[in-house]
Amino acid sequence: METFFSASNKIKTNSCSIPAGFLDRIPREREFSSSEEYSSAVNKALEEESRKHSERIERDLDVVDFFKFSAEEFLYEYAALGKPLIIKNSTTKWPLPSKFWSIELLERFFGDSEYVVRKGDDYTSMQTRSETFTSYIASLRKSSFNVFESQDLDCTTQEIDASWYGANNWIPPGLIPYIDIPKYYPSWTSRMLDTKIWVGPEGTGAHLHSDMHDNFVVQLIGEKRFTLIAPHHRASLGATSFTSNLMSSPIDIHNIEASRYPEAALLKEKGKIFEYTLHPGDALYLPAGWFHSTRNLNSDVCCSINFWQAACYGSARVIVPNIGPPDWIVKPGSATKQDVETLLASIRNSQNS
């Protein structure tokens, strides 16, 4: 099977309109006077490519099957254009496919480790705090979510508030052997520090923003709705840099105030805002620069994993070079069939005791 990296060498890049010294390799911050200038150059490149391919990328999302989709198709039809994509059955070959995931599984691996939760209408007003995963789940159990209605556990958290979202946390080391990284990019582009897990109840999610790296979002428990807008509409969304890797929009994309944001309202009228709901086992390829907001939909707690591809911008033909060994402290996908059977049996026994 051809990999993204080997296939990418076939692309003719001399027509790509991006900053000098940026083509076909990772841009270096030392080539710019500041990290802000560096981020601006990357985002400008992503916007230019998005505008160039707007007629091809601003359509309803394509849905493909993991078993009927090649790396070369991914490269030419999606990554090279910066076009989002839904891949069904993406976890089928994982040691622990999505059908076996549960809150009890997450509790087994997170335990009393520190877990960051947050809430807020946007990034500027966001509150964050740290607690244990156990206490976070206990607070949700006290909030009468359907998944927890049959359980009666004490809650020792600071408050009972289901609006807190367990966002952007690292994967517990013990869980790593049971997941696997996407196979469309070189293996070294998926790094442990860029792989994050998201756990939250219905109604929680992320405000409208864009990230500066290609990403694969894999849904494992529950359903999550994504609202997507192409990078070249940044100005219409009033987006500005919040960090060197993130641009944030002040707009509530589901309730656009047309009097304040007429250009954003026009995007909706013209059908330039796209939505898709991820189900367990689905993977969303989210190209760098695409604006998106998320919302957990069902009444059970939802879980997804983001596999950010370090310094990879498919639409700008940039893939990070193999500059060192992977930083995974445990090899992803290394769990054996016996490991999985033992784990699932242990969880069943604890539920029945």
Domain ranges of the chain: 4-352
- What's the pLDDT score for residue 154? 43
Confidence of residue 218 (pLDDT cuts 50, 70, 90): very high
**Across 111-139, average pLDDT:** 89
- What's the pLDDT score for residue 29? 60
The Cα 239–Cα 231 span in angstroms is 10
The Cα 135–Cα 209 span in angstroms is 29
Fold of 4-352: Jelly Rolls (2.60.120)
- What's the pLDDT score for residue 245? 78
Mean pLDDT of the chain: 85
- What's the pLDDT score for residue 249? 94
Q: What six digits make up the tokens of 42?
A: 């990357």
Sign of torsion, CA 211 213 218 221? negative
- What's the pLDDT score for residue 186? 85
| pLDDT tens digits for range 162-181 | 689 999 999 999 999 999 99
**Across 187-199, average pLDDT:** 92
Q: What six digits make up the tokens of 181?
A: 């990284």
- What's the pLDDT score for residue 122? 74
The Cα 181–Cα 199 span in angstroms is 19
Contact present, 200 and 221 (Cβ < 8 Å): no
Please list, in sequence order, all residues whose beta carbon lies within 8 angstroms of the beta carbon of residue 155, skipping any fewer than 6 positions away: 135, 138, 139, 141, 142
According to the per-residue pLDDT averaged within each range, which of 39-43, 61-65, 156-160 is highest?
61-65
- What's the pLDDT score for residue 115? 94
The Cα 187–Cα 177 span in angstroms is 15
Is the entire prediction scored with pTM above 0.95?
no
